[in-house]
Amino acid sequence: MTTVLPVRRPGAAAALLPAGDERSTAGRRADRGHHVLGRTAPWLVRGVMGIAVLAFAFLAVGPHAFGYRTMTMLTGSMAPHIEPGDITVVTPLRVTDVTEGMVIAYHVPIGDRSLVTHRVVSVEHTPDGRVQVRTKGDANAAIDPWTAVLEGDTAYQVRAVIPELGSAVQLLRTPLVNQVLLYGAPTLLAGWVLLSIWRPTRNEPEDGRA
């Protein structure tokens, strides 16, 4: 018995899959998804790690290297210039250089001596060399009901405001997020390293064919 095998003529088009057969389309979609994931995942990990490094440098290293301090605004007394959850960057200046209009951070002279960030509305230099200030929150209707004596030789003036960063810092301090960062950051780093090692180069066929 003779078996006749069909031979495709040179240049002839390949037979199409029957209508409704989605194997080719599904395969292409899967390959495309893997390709996009392989391209995106390393950059996503790099972005997360980069943001974490920058935040650590700004909040932990910068104050020691450049002398500034960061504070989180907790109230709306300075809105709209400084909103609750914003981070303020303060730098030291001599107490004798404090003038009206500056926004400074200081401890109130009453109650629990909490830290407040308000605008200076008046400055008085006493005969014994002390500096007394009256302050007011931009959003408050009245001047603060106290006269504060700026102790020491250094005051802290607000130089910059970073919106909403304080809210993120507060979120990072919650127990749940701490646990996620504790275990998630090493996992992301390990995934980044593995993707870098196993990612095929441009000169190597991804399917292993020569």
**Same domain assignment for residues 135 and 173:** no
Residue 155 has pLDDT above 80, yes or no: yes
Task: Report, in angstroms and rounded to the nearest whole number, the Rg of the chain calculated over CA atoms.
Answer: 32
Average pLDDT, the chain: 78
Distance between CA atoms of 47 and 192, rounded to whole angstroms? 11
The amino acid present at 62, given as its one-letter code, is G
User: Total structural domains in the chain?
Assistant: 2
Q: Residue 14: inside a domain, yes or no?
A: no
Question: In which domain, by residue range, is 52 found?
Answer: 28-66+168-198
**Same domain assignment for residues 179 and 190:** yes
Number of other residues whose CB lies within 10 A of the CB of residue 120: 21
**Same domain assignment for residues 53 and 122:** no
Q: Residue 184: inside a domain, yes or no?
A: yes
Residue 160 has pLDDT above 90, yes or no: yes
Q: Residue 86: inside a domain, yes or no?
A: yes
Taking only the tens place, the pLDDT of each residue in 165-195 is 777 766 666 677 666 666 666 676 677 667 6
**Same domain assignment for residues 57 and 109:** no
Percent of the chain beyond pLDDT 90? Answer: 37
Kindly write down the DSSP assignment for every residue of the chain, as one continuous string: ---PPP-PPTTPPPPPPPTT--HHHHHHHHHHHHHHHHHHHHHHHHHHHHHHHHHHIIIIIHHHHH--EEEE--SSTTTTTS-TT-EEEEEEEEGGG--TT-EEEEE-SSTT--EEEEEEEEEEE-TTS-EEEEEE-TT-SS--SS-EE--SSEEEEEEEEETTHHHHHHHHTSHHHHHHHHHHHHHHHHHHHHHHHHSPPTTS-TTS--
For residues 142 and 74, the answer to whether their CB atoms sit within 8 Å is no
Mean predicted confidence (pLDDT) in 143-153 = 93
**Same domain assignment for residues 102 and 156:** yes
**Same domain assignment for residues 107 and 155:** yes
Mean predicted confidence (pLDDT) in 28-36 = 64
Residue 19 has pLDDT above 70, yes or no: no
Residue 34 has pLDDT above 60, yes or no: yes
Q: Residue 18: inside a domain, yes or no?
A: no
Taking only the tens place, the pLDDT of each residue in 46-87 is 776 677 777 777 777 788 888 899 888 989 999 999 999 899
**Same domain assignment for residues 132 and 115:** yes
Residue 36 has pLDDT above 70, yes or no: no
Residue 210 has pLDDT above 50, yes or no: no
Q: Residue 17: inside a domain, yes or no?
A: no
Mean predicted confidence (pLDDT) in 11-33 = 56
Q: Residue 7: inside a domain, yes or no?
A: no
Per-residue model confidence (pLDDT) at position 10: 56
Kindly write down the DSSP assignment for every residue of 104-161, as one continuous string: EEEE-SSTT--EEEEEEEEEEE-TTS-EEEEEE-TT-SS--SS-EE--SSEEEEEEEE
**Same domain assignment for residues 127 and 143:** yes
**Same domain assignment for residues 121 and 157:** yes
pTM of this structure: 0.62
Please say whether the dihedral angle defined by the alpha carbons of residues 200, 202, 207 and 210, taken in this order, is positive or negative: negative
**Same domain assignment for residues 136 and 184:** no
**Same domain assignment for residues 50 and 90:** no
Q: Residue 4: inside a domain, yes or no?
A: no
**Same domain assignment for residues 130 and 81:** yes
Taking only the tens place, the pLDDT of each residue in 137-146 is 999 999 999 9
* pLDDT grade for 109, boundaries at 50, 70 and 90: very high
175-198 helix and 23-56 helix, angle to the nearest 10 degrees? 120
Q: Residue 16: inside a domain, yes or no?
A: no
Per-residue model confidence (pLDDT) at position 117: 96
The CATH number of residue 145's host domain is 2.10.109.10
Per-residue model confidence (pLDDT) at position 115: 92
